[in-house]
Amino acid sequence: MRAVLVLYFKYFLKWDDDLATSIYHTFVALCYLTPILGAIVADSWLGKFKTIIYLSIVYAVGQVAMAVSAIHDITDTNRDGTPDNMTFHVVLSMVGLFLIALGTGGIKPCVAAFGGDQFGDHQEKQRRTFFSVFYLCINGGSLLSTIITPILRAQDCGIYSQQKCYSLAFGVPAALMVVALIVFIVGSGMYYKAKPEGNIMLDVCKCIGFAIKNRYRHRSSKYPKREHWMDWAEEKYGKLLIAQIKMVLKVLFLYIPLPMFWTLFDQKGSRWTLQATTMDGNFGSIVIQPDQMQTVNPIFILTLVPIMDSVIYPLIKKCGLNFTPLKRMTVGMFLAAVAFVCAGVVQLQIDKTLPIFPSTSQSQLKLLNMGNNSITVQLTGNKTVNLHPHWASDDYFTFEEEQIDVTVGSPSFTKRIVLTKNERQTLLFPSSISDEWQLMEDLTSKPQEGNNAIRFVNGMSRAVNVSVAGASFGQIQPLYFSNYSQIKNGRKAFTLQSGSQSCEFSREFGFGSSYTFLIPSTMTFGTNCQESISEVEDIKPNSVHMALQVPQYFFITAGEVMFSVTGLEFSYSQAPSNMKAVLQAGWLLTVAIGNFIVLIVAELAKIPKKWAEYILFASLLVAVCIIFSIMAYFYTYIDPAEIEAQFKRKEGDNDDDEDTKAKLRKVEAEMARRGSVSSDDEDQRSKQTSF
Ligand SMILES: N[C@@H](Cc1ccccc1)C(=O)N[C@@H](Cc1ccccc1)C(=O)O
C-alpha cells in the first residue's frame, strides 16, 4: 500500500510534492508510534490474541476506506473522470490512513510477542527461528507488494470513465487482510494465549513515580543507600513488580543509542534513491528505475536471513566464539556504517562524471549555429570557435564577466551579450547573422528522478509541432525554441509536423541527460527525418552503473539482519512476562525516533559534498556503535521467567494471602508448560547476577 501512496496523493488527490511527502512521512512515523498504544492494550487489558484480532479489523476497515476513497466515480457527477467533491476523498482517505496506522500499532508489536509466547524456555533456538521467519514474512510481503501494487494501480477501472485503479491497489490488500484475519482466527485453538495481568502500565508508572518521590524524600545522607533507585519503591510495591520494572528499564536504557541505526537505514529510501537517479540503470534486457533499487533490500533479506541462521551463526559457534545477541547487534551497526562508506565511494565516482556547473560568480555559455554555413565566433578573452553548419560548441565557455562581446564572421558583426550569474545559456546564431540572436536558459542541475530533459530549436522558416509519447513540445515558432520536456529512459519516437506534412525520428535515451535537438532549415518533411536532425548534448547521460549500489545494499541488509532480527528476539527474551508487547513497542519506538532524526538531519546536514555527508553518517554510527558496545559489555542477560518464579515463590512463602498463592501456582504451571527448570538450584540463581 505504501508503494502507491505518494502517487495516490499526487495524482488522485492532486496534492503537490511537498504535501504528499509530508503526509506520507507522518503516516509512516505514526505506524511506528502507535505500537505503544497497541502494546499497552494487549499487556494490560485484552491480551495479545484479542488485540491482534480487534486491531486487524480496524486495519482492514481502514484499508477498505482507502479503497472506497479512491473510487473517482462516487463523486464524479459530471462524469469527466475527475472527482467533483475532493473533500470527501481527502477526508475518507485520511480516516483510512489513521485507522491503518492504529491497526498497525496493534498488530506489529503483538504479532512478534504473541509468536514468541508460543515457545517454551527450552525452545530458545526455535524461538530465534520464529523471529527470523517473522522477518522473512515482512520482507516477502514488502517485496510482493512493491511488485504487485504498482501493477494493480496501472490498470484502468471505473463505471463512467476509466481511470488509474488506485481502488484496486488498496482493495486487494484489504481483501488479503480479511483472509489473513480469518486464517488467524481459525487457528485460535492451536495457540497459547497468555492472560493480561490488569493495568500493568499504570502500576509501572505509579511505582516509578513513587520510587522517585521516596528517594527524594530520603535524600539526606543519614538514610542508608539502596542498591538501585527503584528499590525506593519497596515500601509500597511488591518486589516482583520492582524487579520487572528494573528488567524493562535496563533494556530501554540500552536502546538509547539504537535510533542512530534506523537513521542511516531509512536514508536508503531517500538519499540512496536520489543517488540512483544520477546513475545508469540499464541492466541489458531490463532497465531498473532509481526507486526500484530499494527492492534489493527485501531480496537480500530473503537470502541473507537463512544463510545467517543456517551457515554463518553455526559456523561462528563452531569456532568457539560466543556471538551473543548484543554482539550481533553491534556488528550489525558496524556493517551499516560500512554500507555508508560504500555509498560515499560510489558518490565520489559519480561526482567525477557530473558536469561542472557555474558557481555563483560565474556564468557559462554555449554557441549553436542554426545556419547552413560555417561561422567563426570570437568571444571576450580571445576565445575563438569554428562552428560548422547546424553545429554547437563542444562544451560551455565559463566567464566571470557580466557581459561579453561576441564577434561573428567577416565582415565581422559584433554584439554585446549580457550573461546571468550562476546560469548556463546557449546562444543561437541564425542563418543570416544580422537577424536577431536568441539566448536560451539551460539546465544547471541534472534532470530529476533520472529523467532526460529534451528541447527543440526550430531553424526553419515555418512553425513546427513536435510531440513524443507522453509529452508535447507544442508549436515551435520559426528560429525559436521549445521549453524542456522530461522524458523517461528508453527508445523514444518523435513526430515533427508542419501543416499537413510530418516526419519521424527516434533515439535511445539513458538516464539523467539533457539534449537540444536542432531542426535545420534544410530539413525536408518525408517519412523519416532521422538524418537531418542535429543533436547537442548539454548534459551527458549518467555513466556510473546502478549495480555499484549493490555492495552498499548488501552491507546495510546484512547489518539489518544482525541488528533488527536479533533486536526483536532480544526485546522478547529480556522482557518480563507481563510486558512482552510493551518492550516490542519500545523496539519499534527506536525505529520511529530514527525516522524523525532523518527529517532533522536532512535539514541540518547541508554539507556541499555528498560523499562527505555519507562518510559523516558512517563515522557517527561508528561512534554510536562504540558507545553501544560499552553499554552492552555491562549488560547482564537474564531469564525473566526464572526470576519471576523465584520472586513468586518467595512471596508465596512469606504470604498467606490466597491471591498471591494462586498467582504463584499459575507461574509454576506456566514454567512447567514451558519446560523451564523450576528448581532452587544455586546454579540457576547465579545466572541472574543483577537480581
Ligand atoms: N527490510 C525492511 C523492509 C520493509 C520496509 C518497510 C516496511 C516493511 C518492510 C524491513 O524489514 N523493515 C521492517 C523492520 C522492522 C522493525 C521493527 C519490527 C519488525 C520489523 C519494518 O517493518 O519496517
- The ipTM assigned to this model is 0.95
Per-residue pLDDT band for 22 (boundaries 50, 70, 90) equals confident
Lowest mean pLDDT among 70-74, 102-106, 271-275, 369-373: 271-275
Ligand 1 centroid to Cα of residue 651, in Å, is: 41
Cα(483)–Cα(474) distance, integer angstroms:
9
Any atom of ligand 1 within 6 Å of the Cβ of 301:
yes
Ligand 1 pocket check for 566: Cβ under 6 Å: no
| 138 Cβ closer than 6 Å to some ligand 1 atom | yes
Ligand 1 contacts CB of residue 142 (under 6 A): yes
Cell representation of residue 295: 527492492
Distance from the alpha carbon of residue 582 to the mean position of ligand 1, in angstroms: 18
Q: What pLDDT was estimated at residue 159?
A: 83
Answer whether 564 contacts ligand 1 (Cβ < 6 A): yes
Dihedral pair phi/psi, residue 396, rounded to 5°: -85, 145
What is the mean predicted confidence (pLDDT) over 446-470? 90
Q: Is 591 in the pocket of ligand 1 (CB under 6 A)?
A: yes
Q: Which residues contact 327 (CB under 8 A, 6 or more apart)?
A: 632
In a mutational test of the pocket of ligand 1, which residue from 137, 142, 300 has the highest number of ligand atoms less than 8 Å from its CB?
Answer: 142
Counting ligand 1 atoms within 8 A of each CB, the residue from 138, 266, 554, 571 with the most, and so the one to mutate, is 138
User: Does the C-beta of 257 come closer than 6 Å to ligand 1?
Assistant: no
pLDDT higher than threshold 90 for residue 202: no
Does the beta carbon of 302 sit less than 6 angstroms from any atom of ligand 1?
Answer: no
User: Can you give the pLDDT at residue 76?
Assistant: 87
Whether 584 lines ligand 1, by a CB cut-off of 6 Å, is no
Closest residue by Cα to atom 16, ligand 1, is 588
Verify whether ligand 1 is closer than 6 Å to residue 107 (CB atom). no
State the distance from the centre of ligand 1 to the C-alpha of 132, rounded, in angstroms: 12
Exposure of 390 by Cβ count < 10 A (0-12 exposed, 13-18 middle, 19+ buried)?
buried
Of 255, 93, 66, give the one whose Cα is nearest residue 168.
66
Closest C-alpha residue for ligand 1 atom 6:
142
> Mean pLDDT across the chain, nearest whole number?
88
Output the nine-digit C-alpha cell for 426: 546557449
Give the C-alpha separation, 14 to 658, whole Å.
65
Asked whether residue 237 carries a pLDDT value surpassing 70, the answer given is: yes
Q: Residue whose CA is closest, atom 20 of ligand 1?
A: 135
Mean pLDDT of 618-623: 96
Using the mean position of ligand 1's atoms as its centre, give its distance from the Cα of residue 73 in Å. Answer: 35
Indicate the Cα dihedral angle 66, 70, 75, 77, nearest 10°: -160
Please, what's the b/e burial string for 237-254 (b: 16 or more CB within 10 A of its CB; e: otherwise)?
Answer: bbbbbbbbbbbbebbbeb
21's grid cell: 511527502
In this prediction, residues 10-36 reach a mean pLDDT of 87
Is residue 673's pLDDT more than 60?
no
Atom of ligand 1 nearest to the CA of 557: 1
Give CA–CA dist 19/13, Å, rounded: 11
**% of residues, the chain, pLDDT over 70:** 93
Would you say residue 679 has pLDDT above 50? no
127-136, 197-206, 295-304, 345-354: the lowest-pLDDT one? 197-206
Our answer on whether the CB atom of 94 is closer than 6 Å to any ligand 1 atom is: no
Quote the pTM value: 0.83
Instruction: Compute the distance between CA of residue 89 and CA of residue 85 in angstroms, rounded to an integer.
Output: 7
- 368 in contact with ligand 1, CB cutoff 6 A: no
